[in-house]
C-alpha cells in the first residue's frame, strides 16, 4: 500500500525521467524525500527515503568508491537515488550504475533542466496523498473490526483478516511447546497448522517491528508468522498464525495484523467477562441449592431450569480438595486459578454437563448419577495437574439424591473427605457408601467425644505401650499375618511373634473372636481421628 519507486514515474515532474540502474528495487517503499548536499551525514538519513542529489555532491559524499557509498545507502534502507546531472555531464559514470544494479538501488536520471524544488513538492504531495489513503484504509479496517466485536465472533474476525492479507489465518494455543489449532479461516487449506515450534526464530523484516513475532517453518508451502497477542487464557498462550503461502506478507500487512490482534483481545476479554458473570450467577444458584435455601417452589424450579437439572433425576455431589502431608491446603484453588481451570476443563472434557463451583480450598461438582462411573472418575483424577509431588487430591462423593435433597449429598461428600485422610490416607477417591461402617462415625466439633468408641484396654495400650499398640495396628491391618505385619514394621517375624504374645497377655485375647477384632479395628480408626483432627470445611461453603 505504500508509495513505491515505480509509482514515481506517474508524478508529472518525473514523467520524462529514466531508470538507468537498480530496476530490481522498483518495489521499494517510499516514506521521505531528502534534498542532499555535500555536507550531509549519511548517519542521519531516515529510512525509506528518496535521496535527490547532484552528481557533484554525490562525488563529494563518496569516500572510497561508488560501491562503498551505495552499500552504505542500502544499509540505511535508502529507497532510490535521483541524480541530477549538470549541463556538462552527458552520461552518469558506469561504476555508479554498476553499484546500483548490484545493490538493487534504483537510480533515476534527472536531466539538467529538471527543477529539484518542483520534484520535492510533487513527491511530498504524493506521500501526503498516500499517507491519507493509508489512514483512511486503516480507519475503515478498524471500524469493520470494531463492528465484529459486537457479535463477539472470533471466526468472523479471522476470516476478515485472511481476506485482507490474502493468506490463511489460524488461532492457536501453545501448551508445553505443543501447538494446537483452535480456529482457522474459511480459506485455510488445512484445519490444523503443523508447526515445528522448537525451530522458530525471531521475525526480521525491513521496516517491521518484529518484537513479539516469530517465524516458524511448516510442513506446507511457505511458512507461518506467529503474532503474540499478549493475552494468556487459562491453560495456554494464544497466538495468531498467518501461513504466508499465497503471497509474501508486505510491510503494510502488519498494521492490519496488529489491529486484528487488538480487537481479538477485546473479543476474548468480552467473552471472559461474560463467562465470569454467568459463572458468578451459577455459583449463587449452586450455593442456594446445596445449602437448602430455595424456600419457595418458584425459586427451586427456576434454579433447576438455570442449572439444567431435572427434578426427577438423581444427582451426586463431588468435592475435591488439595492436600499435602496430611493437611488440607487452604486457598489452594483461589490462588491457582490456572490449575483450577485445568482441572475443571479435564473433568468437563469427559462429562460436559458437570456443574461446578470453585471455592478457595476445594471444588464442588454436581453430576448425574452413574455419569461418571466411579472407575472413570478415578482414572480422570489420576490425570489432574499438580504443582509438586507432595501435593495430591482427595475426592469425596455423596449418595445419589434428587435435586431437592442435594444438601444431604453435599454433606456426605464433605464427611467423606474429612474421614478418608485418617481412615484411607492413600486413596484418591471415596464414595460415602464406600466408607462402609465408618460413615456412621460422627465428626463432632470436639473429636474426643468419640473416645467412648475406643475399648478401655486399647486406650490404655496406646497410652502406656505405644510400640505394642503399633504392633497391634500392623497385625490387624495385614489380616493377622505375622510375616506381613513384621515387614510393615521393619522387624523380624520372631520379634513380631514375641510382641503378639505380650499383647495377648495385656489384652486378654487370642485374636480369634471376630467381634472383638472388629471392636479393636473401630477403636484404632477412632484413635487415628483423635490424634489427627479432620479438616473442617463449613457446610455453608459448599
User: Are 468 and 461 within 8 A, CB to CB?
Assistant: yes
Q: What is the rounded CA–CA span in Å between residue 358 and residue 350?
A: 18
Residue 420, pLDDT > 90, answer: no
Report the pLDDT averaged over residues 424-447: 68
User: How many distinct structural domains can be found in the chain?
Assistant: 4
Are 92 and 26 contained in the same domain? yes
Would you mind telling me the total number of residues written for the chain in this entry?
542
CA dihedral (206, 207, 212, 217) in degrees, to 10, reads: -30
In this structure, are 193 and 256 located in the same domain?
yes
Beta strand pairing call for 80-84 and 107-110: parallel
151 CB burial (10 A radius; 0-12, 13-18, 19+): exposed
CATH number at residue 208: 3.30.450.40
Binned at pLDDT 50, 70 and 90, residue 541 comes out as very low
CA atoms within 13 A on the CB side of 416: 27
Q: What's the pLDDT tens digit per position in 37-61?
A: 656 777 777 778 888 888 888 888 8
The pLDDT score that the predictor gives to residue 350 is 79
* More confident position, 333 or 380: 333
Domain membership of residue 513 (yes or no) is: yes
Same structural domain for residues 329 and 352? yes
Is residue 281 assigned to a domain?
Answer: no
| Banded pLDDT at 542 (limits 50, 70, 90) | very low
Please identify, among 392, 420, 440, the residue that sits at the C-terminal boundary of a domain. Answer: 440
Site of grid cell 435455601: 293
| 479-493 per-residue burial string, b: 16 or more CB within 10 A, e: under 16 | eeebebbbebbebee
Residue 346 maps to a domain: yes
Residue 487 lies in a domain: yes
Q: How high is the pLDDT of residue 539? A: 38
- Domain range spanning residue 385? 291-440
Tell me the CA distances in angstroms from 111 to 122, 162, 357, 424, one per residue in order: 17, 45, 80, 97
pLDDT over 90, % of the chain: 18
Same-domain pairing of 299 and 402: yes
Given a contact cutoff of 8 angstroms between Cβ atoms, the answer to whether 342 and 234 are in contact is yes
How many angstroms separate the first and last alpha carbons of the chain? 60
**pLDDT at residue 242 greater than cutoff 50:** yes
Domain CATH for 82: 3.40.1390.20
Predicted confidence band of residue 64 (pLDDT cuts 50, 70, 90): confident
Compute the distance between CA of residue 9 and CA of residue 19 in angstroms, rounded to an integer.
9
**Residue 535 — pLDDT band, cuts 50, 70, 90?**
very low
263 pLDDT above the threshold of 90: no
Residue 8: what pLDDT? 87
- Please check whether residues 305 and 261 belong to one and the same domain: no
Reported as a pLDDT band with limits 50, 70 and 90, residue 209 is low
Label residue 1 by pLDDT band (50, 70, 90).
Answer: low
**CATH code: domain of residue 431:** 3.30.70.270
Residue 514 lies in a domain: yes
Shared domain for 263 and 308, answered yes or no, is no
Classify 137 as helix, strand or coil. helix
- Among 440, 474, 492, where does a domain finish? 440
> Is 190 a domain residue?
yes
Which range has the top average pLDDT, 191-205, 238-252, 253-267, 371-385?
A: 253-267
Q: Which residue in this structure is represented by grid cell 526480521?
A: 204
pLDDT score at 198: 73
DSSP bridge pairs for 68: none
Cell numbers standing for residue 19 = 531508470
pLDDT of 430 > 60? The answer is yes
Residues 295 and 435 in one domain: yes
Q: Which of 225, 105, 249 is nearest to 172 (CA)?
A: 225
| Residue 147 falls inside a structural domain | no
What is the overall mean pLDDT for the chain?
82
Domain end among 385, 408, 440: 440
Say how far residue 530 (Cα) sits from the centre of its chain: 44
pLDDT single digits (tens) 129-188: 888 888 888 888 888 888 887 777 888 888 999 888 888 888 888 766 677 788 889 888
Residues 299 and 256 both lie in one domain: no
pLDDT, one tens digit per residue, over 325-376 is 777 888 888 888 888 888 888 888 878 888 999 988 889 999 888 766 677 7
Are residues 390 and 508 located together in one domain of the fold? Answer: no
- CB neighbour class for 143 (10 Å; exposed up to 12, middle 13-18, buried from 19): exposed
The confidence band for 540, taking pLDDT boundaries of 50, 70 and 90, is very low
300 with 433, same domain: the answer is yes
Q: Are 305 and 435 within one domain? A: yes
Q: What is the pLDDT of residues 106-132, one digit of tens each?
A: 999 888 778 888 888 888 888 888 888
Same domain, 421 and 451: no
> Residue 485 is part of a domain; what is its CATH number?
1.10.10.2840
**Residue matched to cell numbers 485445568:** 342
pLDDT computed for residue 287 by the predictor: 92
Residue 537 lies in a domain: no
Amino acid at each position: 500500500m505504500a508509495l513505491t519507486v515505480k509509482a514515481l514515474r506517474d508524478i508529472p515532474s518525473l514523467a520524462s525521467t529514466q531508470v538507468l540502474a537498480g530496476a530490481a528495487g522498483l518495489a521499494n517503499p517510499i516514506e521521505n524525500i531528502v534534498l542532499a548536499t555535500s555536507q550531509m551525514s549519511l548517519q542521519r538519513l531516515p529510512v525509506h527515503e528518496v535521496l535527490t542529489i547532484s552528481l557533484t555532491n554525490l562525488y563529494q559524499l563518496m569516500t572510497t568508491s561508488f560501491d562503498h557509498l551505495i552499500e552504505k545507502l542500502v544499509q540505511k534502507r535508502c529507497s532510490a537515488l535521483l541524480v541530477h546531472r549538470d549541463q556538462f555531464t552527458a552520461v552518469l559514470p558506469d561504476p555508479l550504475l554498476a553499484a546500483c544494479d548490484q545493490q538493487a538501488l534504483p537510480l533515476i536520471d534527472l536531466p539538467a533542466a529538471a527543477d529539484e524544488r518542483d520534484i520535492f513538492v510533487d513527491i511530498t504531495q504524493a506521500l501526503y496523498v498516500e499517507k491519507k489513503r493509508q489512514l483512511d484504509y486503516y480507519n475503515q479496517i478498524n471500524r469493520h473490526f470494531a463492528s465484529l466485536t459486537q457479535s463477539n465472533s472470533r471466526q468472523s474476525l479471522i476470516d476478515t483478516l485472511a481476506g485482507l492479507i490474502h493468506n490463511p489465518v489460524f488461532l492457536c494455543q501453545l501448551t508445553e511447546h505443543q501447538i494446537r489449532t483452535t480456529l482457522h479461516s474459511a480459506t485455510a487449506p488445512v484445519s490444523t497448522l503443523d508447526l515445528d515450534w522448537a525451530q522458530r526464530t525471531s521475525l526480521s523484516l525491513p521496516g517491521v517491528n518484529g518484537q513479539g513475532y516469530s517465524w516458524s517453518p511448516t510442513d506446507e508451502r511457505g511458512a507461518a508468522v506467529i503474532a503474540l497477542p499478549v493475552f494468556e487464557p487459562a491453560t495456554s498462550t494464544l497466538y495468531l498464525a498467518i501461513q504466508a503461502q499465497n503471497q509474501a506478507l508486505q510491510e503494510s500487512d502488519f498494521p492490519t495484523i496488529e489491529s486484528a490482534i487488538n480487537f481479538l483481545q477485546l473479543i476474548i476479554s468480552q467473552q471472559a467477562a461474560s463467562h465470569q458473570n454467568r459463572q458468578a450467577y451459577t455459583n449463587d444458584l449452586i450455593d442456594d441449592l446445596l445449602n437448602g435455601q430455595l424456600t419457595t417452589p418458584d425459586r427451586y424450579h427456576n434454579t433447576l431450569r438455570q442449572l439444567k437439572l431435572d427434578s426427577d433425576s438423581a444427582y451426586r455431589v463431588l468435592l475435591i480438595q488439595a492436600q499435602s502431608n496430611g493437611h488440607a491446603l487452604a486457598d489452594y484453588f483461589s490462588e491457582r486459578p490456572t490449575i483450577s481451570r485445568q482441572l475443571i476443563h479435564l473433568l468437563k472434557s469427559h462429562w460436559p454437563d458437570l456443574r461446578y463451583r470453585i471455592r478457595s480450598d476445594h471444588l464442588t461438582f454436581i453430576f448425574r448419577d452413574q455419569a461418571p462411573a466411579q472407575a472413570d472418575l478415578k482414572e480422570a483424577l489420576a490425570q489432574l495437574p499438580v504443582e509438586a509431588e507432595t501435593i495430591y487430591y482427595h475426592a469425596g462423593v455423596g449418595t445419589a439424591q434428587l435435586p431437592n435433597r442435594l444438601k444431604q449429598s453435599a454433606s456426605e461428600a464433605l464427611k467423606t473427605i474429612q474421614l478418608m485422610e485418617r481412615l484411607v490416607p492413600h486413596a484418591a477417591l471415596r464414595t460415602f457408601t464406600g466408607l462402609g461402617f465408618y460413615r456412621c462415625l460422627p465428626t463432632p466439633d470436639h473429636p474426643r467425644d468419640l473416645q467412648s468408641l475406643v475399648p478401655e484396654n486399647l486406650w490404655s495400650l496406646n497410652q502406656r505401650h505405644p510400640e505394642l499398640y503399633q504392633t497391634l495396628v500392623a497385625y490387624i491391618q495385614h489380616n493377622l499375618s505375622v510375616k506381613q505385619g513384621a515387614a510393615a514394621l521393619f522387624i523380624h517375624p520372631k520379634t513380631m511373634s514375641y510382641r503378639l504374645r505380650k499383647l495377648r497377655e495385656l489384652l486378654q485375647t487370642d485374636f480369634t473372636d471376630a467381634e472383638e477384632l472388629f471392636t479393636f479395628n473401630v477403636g484404632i480408626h477412632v484413635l487415628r481421628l483423635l490424634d489427627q483432627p479432620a479438616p473442617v470445611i463449613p457446610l455453608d461453603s459448599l
